[in-house]
A = this chain, B = another copy of it.
Amino acid sequence: MSYTAPIKDMLFVMKDLAGLDDVAALPGFEDATSETAQAVLDEAAKLCGEVLAPLNVEGDRNPSSWKDGVVSASPGFKDAFRQFAEGGWQGVQHPTEYEGQGLPKLIGTPCVEMLNASNLSFALCPLLTDGAIEALLTAGTEEQKQRYVPKLISGEWTGTMNLTEPQAGSDLALVRTRAEPQGDGTYRVFGTKIFITWGEHDMADNIVHLVLARLLDAPEGVKGISLFIVPKFMIDDDGTLGARNDVHCVSIEHKLGIKASPTAVLQFGDHGGAIGYLVGEENRGLEYMFIMMNAARFAVGMQGIGIADRAYQKAVAYAKERVQSRPVDGTAKQPVTIIHHPDVRRMLASMRALTEGARALAYVAAAHCDIAHRHADEAVRTEHQAIYEYLVPVVKGWSTEMSIDVASLGVQVHGGMGFIEETGAAQFYRDARILTIYEGTTAIQANDLIGRKTLRDGGAIAKKLLADVAQTVEALAAHQGAAFASMREQLANGHRALGAAVDYVLANAKSDPNAVFAGSVPYLKLAGVVLCGWQMARALLAAEANEASDPSFYSAKMATARFYAEHVLPQAGAFEASIVSAKGGEGVLALAEDQF
């Protein structure tokens, strides 16, 4: 099997780090026991390992294709999507009243990871549908929810997010697509949207496009954007599909990776106007879009973790099989499998440590999201929501940045074979490259982390997290051995570095925004390195406590935590220097535009 879901690690993180029991104690989540979690993960692993993973290479070799406005998914994808839909997988985290399974995000998240690990291109379709569902649940009328959400959850229809235009990528203030009211409560939408993932395809009966557009009299900039539903096929009152709407796919992109996933250019209104339905209030589109973007950003972080794990699994398999060179310590006279060479071991351990650290932080974030939604006490909900929101850009930015490095290491472990497309390692390197770009580049995440997540509350949440990290540093002191010693030293250092960066951001953002934002990505990466390291430290503590119950698994976790401490956490100092000592801006901005 080309992908085996790491269920043991997933359940360990869910239970011992993310507090599955606490989540299961929340109102409405009573069924979310560890038994349920195990059962759901086992089933998801089956679908992903047996059906979706084998299609991953197939989709790369036979990308989705466009002809006369019709997009055909890669061979096998339509059938796989049917199996996915029939298994109820689109609805894992969505409410039971709209035919979802109503499970916590903490259980949905490992399923999302598996889906992406097995087939990134495929997984994008449900990812976007999730976003559409979130937006409708947040801002739609009850009638809209009833009309669209159950069909999206059943997989009869899929959803898209239509933000980008040729002149409006990161900057949605530049959106030009316009919507004209028809007097009957509907609108006609005109414009061009690009980079629309799964914007057209043949895997489902209908596609529900959620589209950002501007009313004629709307204010300029982001405060004049509204959100519209534009279905591919019109829907009769009894729910049957009617006429084709005036939205057409005029081409799909030729991309570096995720080739099975069609990236569409959609033309709205070339034949009289695409019928659209306003979601929520006029001019509040961006706000609603941010809700679905937060969900989508977290999911893209999971894409990074998924593909990193897949690349790791492939590299391990190759390293255990490929025989080359005698060991450097002279313990064998014959060539050995390359996993015996220290540098190959270092590469595999890096891949593993980065992936496990990012997984732990992401699942912990998911649990905060669950508490934020379901806890009985509003103050608790508010605090956990704020923690979740701080963590989203870190999960998105850090997990995707590290996934490119991990996929690249995966190629390197394969040596020359890694560069040959048939081997398959190169696909992960190509596929992963989009992850730091879409749903907001790493710089956009970093700006969000600074602006909305650190400055807005005066650093309150950042400092709360730092205090939690400090507690873990304390807890490590009570334990013996090299792993604990390294982790304590390096996590303490990381804590100090992150604290210094937060203080620097707070102190200088107003007076010297360029300097602070020049250090934004280093700040995000520093937060990623330290907060994932914090989770690895918590994992180390939990693993020691549990060790007797499964010595091989827990000793591996302890070794991985030590590796993280010794080989990943030391980067914290370099990021700190980039932000604080360097007073970012000056050095970064010293070159004038014409000197580049």
- Is A195's beta carbon under 8 Å from chain B? yes
CA distance A486 to B421 in the complex (A): 44
**Nearest chain B residue, comparing its CB with the CB of A61:** B254
Q: What is the count of identical protomers in the complex?
A: 2
Task: Please tell me which one of the listed residues B563, B590, B594 contacts residue A563 in the complex, with CB atoms under 8 A apart.
Answer: B590
Residues in A224-259 with C-beta less than 8 Å from chain B: 253-257
CB-CB under 8 A for A344 and B556, given A173-B335, A324-B170, A517-B328: no
**Nearest chain B residue, comparing its CB with the CB of A563:** B587
Asked whether A408 lies within 8 Å of B416 as measured between CB atoms, the reply is no
- Is A378's beta carbon under 8 Å from chain B? no
Shortest distance between the CB of A540 and any CB in chain B (Å): 12
Shortest distance between the CB of A275 and any CB in chain B (Å): 28
CA distance A194 to B416 in the complex (A): 10
**Nearest chain B residue, comparing its CB with the CB of A168:** B324
Asked whether A342 lies within 8 Å of B588 as measured between CB atoms, the reply is yes
Residues in A338-352 with C-beta less than 8 Å from chain B: 339-346, 348-349, 352
Shortest distance between the CB of A424 and any CB in chain B (Å): 11
Residues in A65-80 with C-beta less than 8 Å from chain B: none
Shortest distance between the CB of A288 and any CB in chain B (Å): 21
Shortest distance between the CB of A293 and any CB in chain B (Å): 15
Asked whether B412 lies within 8 Å of A596 as measured between CB atoms, the reply is no
**Nearest chain B residue, comparing its CB with the CB of A574:** B570
Shortest distance between the CB of A415 and any CB in chain B (Å): 5
Asked whether B316 lies within 8 Å of A596 as measured between CB atoms, the reply is yes
Shortest distance between the CB of A480 and any CB in chain B (Å): 15
CA distance A335 to B570 in the complex (A): 38
Asked whether A343 lies within 8 Å of B587 as measured between CB atoms, the reply is no
Asked whether B171 lies within 8 Å of A325 as measured between CB atoms, the reply is yes
Q: 8 closest A-B pairs (Cβ-Cβ)?
A: A566-B582, A570-B577, A559-B590, A342-B518, A343-B443, A556-B595, A570-B574, A171-B325
Q: List 20 A-B residue pairs with CB atoms under 8 Å apart, sorted by A's residue number.
A: A194-B416, A195-B416, A253-B420, A256-B430, A328-B514, A339-B593, A340-B593, A341-B517, A343-B518, A343-B520, A345-B518, A349-B587, A352-B596, A426-B433, A486-B587, A559-B587, A563-B590, A566-B582, A567-B588, A570-B577
- In the complex, besides A416-B438, A419-B437, 13 extra interface pairs with C-beta distance below 8 angstroms are A164-B416, A167-B323, A169-B416, A174-B324, A255-B420, A256-B426, A256-B430, A346-B584, A412-B442, A415-B441, A416-B437, A556-B595, A570-B573
